[in-house]
Amino acid sequence: MKEVINEKAIQLGVCYYPEHWPEELWEDDFKRMKEMGFKYVRMAEFAWTIFEPVEGTFEFDLFDHAIELAQKYDLKVIMGTPTATPPAWLTEKYPEVLNVSRDGVRYNHGSRRHYNYNSEIYQSLSKRIVKQMVEHYKDNPTVVGWQIDNEINCEINEFYSDADHVKFREWAKEKYGTLDRLNEAWGTVFWSQTYTDWKQVYLSRATVNDSYNPHQFLDEKRFISDSAIHFVQIQSDIIRSITTEQWVTTNGMFGHLDNHQMTEEALDFYAYDSYPNFNKIIEDNSFMPLRDRKWSLNLSTVRNFGGNFAIFEQQAGPGGWVNRIAQPTPLPGQLRLWTFQSIAHGADLVLYFRWRTATMGSEIYWHGINDYHNLPNRRIKEIKKTSEEIQRLDSSIFDSKYVANAAILTDYNNEWDGEVDTWYGDFLGESKEAWFKAFQYHHIPVDVVNVTQNMTLKELSRYQVLVYPHAAILTESTAELLTCYVEQGGQIIFGARTGYKDINGQTYMKAFPGYIKDLVGISVEEYTLLNGWQKNPKVMMFGEEIETQGFNEVLQVDADGVDVIGTFKNCHYENKPALTKRNVGKGKAYYFGGVFDYQIATMLLKDLQVTNYEDIFLLTSDVELAVREKEGHIIYILLNYSREVQSIEIKGKMENLLENRIVSGEVEMKAYDVMILK
């Protein structure tokens, strides 16, 4: 990313909407941005009517002037293509560009993201506006890059317009070639669903009882992802064909989208919008809730899309729409903490959202750095201070790499299939969070790694430990790769419901856990959902009895070298194996016939061999440890998510880069404070 953005240090910036404000405010705004140390400003991503007020008539004056003023204050400009909000003239004249609900209700003008990806007329109008804009700004040295659209698949990630139905049919034809192959993949023999003509094939439509063919439903998600990526690709191709000086990205992380594929195929790097304050409207009643620290899980996921990344929207105040989303105001210190959280996980460029709170529209409560009235406030001060700190230290962290010796494996197949499968879908998130918490609270940095069909051993062998909680869909080739990983010395952990489905989401006609059965050396003798109707069974493991939740698989040992390290209690399968461990080659393979929670993950963590930095720090669980490496040098970032002071111990001597002083021994971290140590 360093090469792409052409920077030598972490840069800050802000999102700005000149079209919202009287022209007389602009210069002072840019001047104050410069004073705050900002170098980047993002503009124009919702401004289609400004650029093309009448169909085919293009105007650039407003933004030309804004960019000129930005340049005066040494700001680099990122332009957004405005396709997330088609103008009223467009949707009124071409209503077929609109997205439609499954039941046929058209989504109209008035909110955002109301278009569909597959309308030919929308693609054509989008191409024209993008082409016009890029042609206009391609030689403007202030404009350094492009954000395509805005938050792809945000707001809504299902599409049922006529164009989508038609395109889905083509997509399926291309994928399956013949209807026989499609019928087989979708198991249409069940309930007489067999297709005998391609024109019978649609995206899911309203059915009795809202029950759709689950295999078709899985393909529907893949199709949505492909459609979105194709739409991004169209714009990316135009930009890249016109300019090689300006980079291309988009911002997001939303559902039904293969972000890895999109980044690889269409973007120079990935940009994420980080709003940890959402934790204040999301209930999390779990033991040791992650709250704003959950964004470290999100950032770890983003990091996997393509290494270091940008933040295009870093929370700068409370967020809220008029009729939904009502976030309290961040507490003193949190905006700074969250900025460093982004940097700790791999952000090399951070833009705050946004300069000033809008006085009109659905988002008048999505607060910017400045309030509506531009009067001084606490947020401006805190971000100014943060900016000064980053300017002092950034060359050492910029372009460094996050160091993790453990990884949680995920994949889109299970994520999308699990969305509608109540027999394992919920476990994916529960176990992922449980493991992330366990790693976090024990100060073991962890990556989130996406499993693909062309993944190599090299990508995995860097990790001491892999956790792949509930990969219901697990192919033979993935099983082989994971077996190689273990044989060469890796440790892997699987949970219940592993390996019983094929790539179409159909169940294998073979003993569970399917293709990894030989690796783990067990098979599933019997299983049951636990839905709270009766007392949940317990598992005796590592000398303690722990209640299980969600699902139980009773294991049967099939191979040599399997240690039964956990057995069931309080149920009719009392004393049967629940947790096993097998030495395979130089490594170990664990299988747990249940869903993971924090307690179980923590116990397993103690049984595993993994670097935990205990020789360097003694940290409290409220403090996150991130480790970064650059040219052989290690930098440690400590983040305190608690409103309480934390007493920690630094076992050696280190330099605190934020304060330019040596620290050692017992140290106190203030509420929401950050330390960067070298």
Asked whether position 286 contacts a copy of itself by CB under 8 A, the answer is no
Binding mask 109-128 for a copy of itself (x = CB under 8 A): xxxxxx--------------
Asked whether position 101 contacts a copy of itself by CB under 8 A, the answer is yes
Positive/negative CA dihedral, 373, 378, 379, 381: positive
Options 286, 401, 529, 545; binder of a copy of itself; rule CB under 8 A = 529
| Rounded Cα–Cα distance for residues 372 and 358 (Å) | 7
Q: Which of residues 144-163 bind a copy of itself (CB under 8 A)?
A: 155-156
Q: Which of residues 388-447 bind a copy of itself (CB under 8 A)?
A: 420-423
Size of the site for a copy of itself (CB under 8 A): 111
Options 132, 377, 611, 621; binder of a copy of itself; rule CB under 8 A = 377
Nearest residue (CB) to a copy of itself, 509 versus 631: 509
Options 212, 254, 542, 598; binder of a copy of itself; rule CB under 8 A = 212
Nearest residue (CB) to a copy of itself, 380 versus 446: 380
Asked whether position 630 contacts a copy of itself by CB under 8 A, the answer is no
CA nearest neighbour of 204 among 345, 100, 132, 300: 100
Asked whether position 549 contacts a copy of itself by CB under 8 A, the answer is no
Residue 666 pairs with which residues in a beta bridge?
649
Binding mask 481-500 for a copy of itself (x = CB under 8 A): -------------------x
Q: What is the DSSP letter of 501?
A: B
Residue 206 CA to chain centroid, in angstroms?
30
Nearest residue (CB) to a copy of itself, 97 versus 467: 97
Q: What are phi and psi of 526, to 5 degrees?
A: -160, 155
Amino acid at 233: Q
Stretch that binds a copy of itself, among 72-80, 531-539, 613-621, 659-667 (CB under 8 A): 531-539
Binding mask 340-369 for a copy of itself (x = CB under 8 A): -----------------xxxxxxxxx----
For the question of residue 313 being annotated catalytic, the response is yes
Integer distance in angstroms from the first to the last C-alpha of the chain? 23
Q: Which of residues 221-280 bind a copy of itself (CB under 8 A)?
A: 280
- Asked if 475 and 453 count as a contact pair (C-beta separation under 8 A), the reply is yes
Stretch that binds a copy of itself, among 315-323, 404-412, 627-635, 659-667 (CB under 8 A): 315-323
For residue 513, say if its preceding peptide bond is cis, omega within 30 degrees of 0.
Answer: yes
Options 64, 265, 526, 644; binder of a copy of itself; rule CB under 8 A = 526
> 662 exposed, middle or buried (CB, 10 Å; 0-12, 13-18, 19+)?
exposed
Q: Which long-range contacts (CB under 8 A, 24 or more apart) does 556-561 make?
A: 556/522, 556/523, 556/524, 556/525, 557/521, 557/522, 558/517, 558/521, 558/522, 558/523, 559/518, 559/521, 559/522, 560/521, 561/521
Asked whether position 509 contacts a copy of itself by CB under 8 A, the answer is yes
150 is in an annotated binding site: yes
Q: Which of 7, 45, 52, 151 is catalytic?
A: 151
Angle between helices 214-242 and 162-176 (to 10 degrees): 100
Between CA 131 and CA 134, with CA 133 as vertex, the angle to 5 degrees is 65
Options 121, 206, 634, 662; binder of a copy of itself; rule CB under 8 A = 206
| Rounded Cα–Cα distance for residues 627 and 629 (Å) | 7
Q: Which of 313, 389, 433, 624 is catalytic?
A: 313
- Residue positions forming the annotated binding site for substrate: 112, 150, 321
Q: Mind telling me the catalytic residues?
A: 151, 313
